[in-house]
Chain A
Amino acid sequence: MNATPHIVTSRWETPDAHTLEGYQRSGSYSGYEGIRAALNIAPSAVLEQVRQATVLGRGGAGFPAGTKWGFCPPGVWPRYIVVNGDESEPGTYKDRVLMERDPHQLIEGCLIAAYAIGAAQVFLYVRGEMAHAQERIAAALNEAYANNLVGKNILGTDFSVDIVLHWGAGAYIVGEETALIESLEGNRGMPRLKPPYFPAAKGLYMAPTIVNNVETLANLPWLMCHGVAAYKATGSEASPGTRLVAVSGHVNTPGVFEVAQGTTTYRELFYSEQYGGGIRNGNELKMFIPGGASAPWFFPEQVDLPLEGRTVGAAGSMLGSGAIVVMDDTTDAVKACLRIVRFFARESCGKCSPCREGTTWEEKILRRIMDGHGRPSDLDLLLDIADNISPGPYPVASHPEAGLEAVPFPPRQTTICPLGPSSVAPITSALRRFRHEFEAKITKRDLIPLSVEPVGGRS
């Protein structure tokens, strides 16, 4: 079970993997062999392989890439590919490493995708704050262009495509694909409403556009080299292959790990030596975020769930971007809740009234409670504001034994995108489970300790 193949991380320990030479020399396949393999078959055949391999999107929604590519309306040109390297979801930390350590792998993934759908151009949208990743990709692209791996008549064939590195400038919402497109057009990164603006039909410059996560595309060279069967040999039937997860917070050895999808469990991740190495100081697990700050929290009773989108979804949360944040029993639930809500309030793009006004309101109330100025009515008010951003009732009951309803997931929304509704996840998670902590702060100043001891980590 632990013999997980290194599909996307096979060069992470190779110091010069970011150079063309390093990429071609090391790793679990030889660099740019994937695109060579693709060029030997028709674009439609490449698309078919990706479809058969069920390469799930790694950006959050977990939608199969092959199926998404197939949504490009026939006969409408040009088509674009936009790579989502905006990675900003709190706790998420994988695309940056992929870009810094193995940029050619991503470039090759872009080429394969562009070939499969007939793209006119690829844009690599990299989060602005990641200066090092920008440098590594710029250098790799320059090398690739110079060696006829990108640009005109790639590898001496008729296949030609441009890949352009684009710099983000600091806005979480731009990770949302329609906002990403707006941003790439030079606008404020405010999401467009789907429908009618499904990127595959009306995306960049209103042309069909495929937006894929960095990790999603990084899987493609390996897939083209080793074939569909080898790819599906790892992971579960519905979720083949591996996933990168970042385990952070109160574990002894936090890090970014490539794990088999659908088979590895949270327990293994937190406690096995190979991964998290146990909760720090031998403390008890209080709660954990199973897939990014937008995901409703999980508690000790869910720790045996496998890392699989479907299963986690059925349990009332999401695997999302693979960001797992572990919180031990010294954690102040209200403080953690406020910090996450504050994030959404700061990052709201401001387009939808419920998100713009609602998240700031939530933050203000939580801050008041933290500061000892809470009112008893605040808790119901919080839940009602939450309900006005993401209306209930919530059908899945994930804590029936405790008589608790599950938090709403996937969220219903009075907004355009799920950012506003995401602010509801920490509130309902914390408030339903730890209402007493909130009440304690309202009635008296409470002293739930929060450890500040830094714990070393690796990645």
Chain B
Amino acid sequence: MSRFTRENELLAREIIARYPRPKSATIPLCHLAQEQDGFLAEDAMRHISELVGITAAEVRGTASFYEMFKLKPVGKYLINVCTNISCQLLGGEELLEHAEQSLGIRSGSTTEDGLFTLEDVECIAACTEAPACQVNYRYFNTVSNEQFDSLVEDLRAGRNGEIPDHGTLGRVRQHIEPGQVANITAPEQQSEPGWFRDRNTAAAAEQGEVSS
């Protein structure tokens, strides 16, 4: 565990190739590592640093800036309850309190069985559906206490519907066939696109003809 599996390393290399500079793939690769392990492990950060050519300290510096990267293991289901203004106005804080009671943990911690981690989060862009929460970044709108409890019940019972384990970001990935790539190279190797120059010159020439 922790370093990329062979398969994920191939995926990592595909992701790196989409960027003009490898370092730009740091965040996507942290996601990939988190998808593999459920959290961002130290060895994974080391592996990422090797793949994108920076130090492990730089990877950690970047990763630790972002809320979504968990440098310590979290539950299989990360429950984010929004308490920001729109949700607060309609009971977000009360929902959080209920969630704490019902799960028996404080916000920011994980249940003993390792199933749930509860977090009090900032606006998740579901403001008109307040109070809202997410489980592994899948939305649940206008959640009542009862709805929350049955959601937890379902997850406990393995009825997870569309919700993958923590770390899986999108179950659909972008994939560009090598033959379809227009032109991804380092910025130093880029110049004015031929089509841009040609089409503008042609138009300018036409204009010139018209006006003269």
Q: Do chains A and B touch in the complex (CB under 8 A)?
A: yes
Q: A-side interface residues toward B, CB under 8 Å? A: 41-45, 75, 77-78, 87-93, 95-96, 118, 120-121, 127-132, 134-139, 141-142, 145-146, 151-152, 157-162, 164-172, 183-189, 205-207, 246-250, 254-256, 289, 293, 323, 325, 327, 331, 335-336, 339-340, 343, 346-347, 349, 450-459
Residues 51 to 73 of chain B near chain A (Cβ within 8 Å): 52, 54, 61-63, 65-69
Measured in the bound complex, the distance between the Cα atoms of B193 and A455 in whole Å is 53
Q: Which residues of A contact B124 (CB under 8 A)?
A: 129
Q: Which residue among B94, B136, B199 has the maximum number of chain A CB atoms within 10 Å of its CB?
A: B199
B127 touches A254 (CB 8 A): yes
Considering the complex, give the chain B residue whose CB is closest to the CB of A184.
B24
Give the interface size class of chain B. Answer: 35 or more
Chain B 159-194 interface mask (CB, 8 Å, partner A; 1/0): 000000000011111111101111110010011111
- For the complex with contacts A42-B203, A90-B84, 15 further pairs of A-B residues with Cβ separation under 8 Å are A88-B123, A93-B128, A118-B197, A129-B125, A131-B169, A138-B172, A169-B67, A170-B66, A170-B69, A186-B24, A186-B54, A187-B23, A206-B187, A343-B123, A454-B130
Measured in the bound complex, the distance between the Cα atoms of B71 and A281 in whole Å is 45
B26 at the interface (CB under 8 A from A): yes
B181 touches A255 (CB 8 A): no
B62 touches A339 (CB 8 A): no
B117 at the interface (CB under 8 A from A): no
The answer to whether residues A158 and B194 also contact, given A78-B187, A152-B182, A346-B122 and a CB cut-off of 8 A, is yes
A91 touches B67 (CB 8 A): no
The answer to whether residues A186 and B23 also contact, given A166-B28, A169-B68, A454-B130 and a CB cut-off of 8 A, is yes
Residues 3 to 29 of chain B near chain A (Cβ within 8 Å): 18-21, 23-28
Measured in the bound complex, the distance between the Cα atoms of B67 and A189 in whole Å is 12
Measured in the bound complex, the distance between the Cα atoms of B181 and A87 in whole Å is 28
Q: Which residues of A contact B128 (CB under 8 A)?
A: 93, 246-248, 254-256, 457-459
The answer to whether residues A130 and B122 also contact, given A138-B170, A167-B169 and a CB cut-off of 8 A, is no
Measured in the bound complex, the distance between the Cα atoms of B128 and A247 in whole Å is 7
Q: B-side interface residues toward A, CB under 8 Å? A: 18-21, 23-28, 30-31, 52, 54, 61-63, 65-69, 80, 83-86, 88-91, 94, 122-131, 134, 136-139, 141-142, 144, 169-177, 179-184, 187, 190-200, 202-204
A88 touches B195 (CB 8 A): no
The answer to whether residues A169 and B127 also contact, given A120-B193, A339-B84, A454-B90 and a CB cut-off of 8 A, is no
Within the complex, what minimum Cβ distance (angstroms) separates B46 from chain A? 16
- Contact residue among A87, A158, A248, A452 (Cβ-Cβ distance under 8 Å from B86): A248
6 A–B contact pairs at CB < 8 A? A41-B203, A42-B199, A159-B195, A170-B67, A186-B54, A207-B187
Q: Which residues of A contact B67 (CB under 8 A)?
A: 169-171
Measured in the bound complex, the distance between the Cα atoms of B129 and A456 in whole Å is 7
Considering the complex, give the chain B residue whose CB is closest to the CB of A187.
B62
Q: Which residues of B contact A132 (CB under 8 A)?
A: 138-139
Q: Which residues of B contact A131 (CB under 8 A)?
A: 136-138, 169-170
Within the complex, what minimum Cβ distance (angstroms) separates B181 from chain A? 6
Q: Which residues of A contact B63 (CB under 8 A)?
A: 169
Considering the complex, give the chain B residue whose CB is closest to the CB of A335.
B88
A186 touches B27 (CB 8 A): yes
Q: Which residues of B contact A129 (CB under 8 A)?
A: 68, 80, 124-125, 134, 137
Measured in the bound complex, the distance between the Cα atoms of B193 and A139 in whole Å is 27
A205 touches B187 (CB 8 A): yes
Within the complex, what minimum Cβ distance (angstroms) separates B205 from chain A? 10
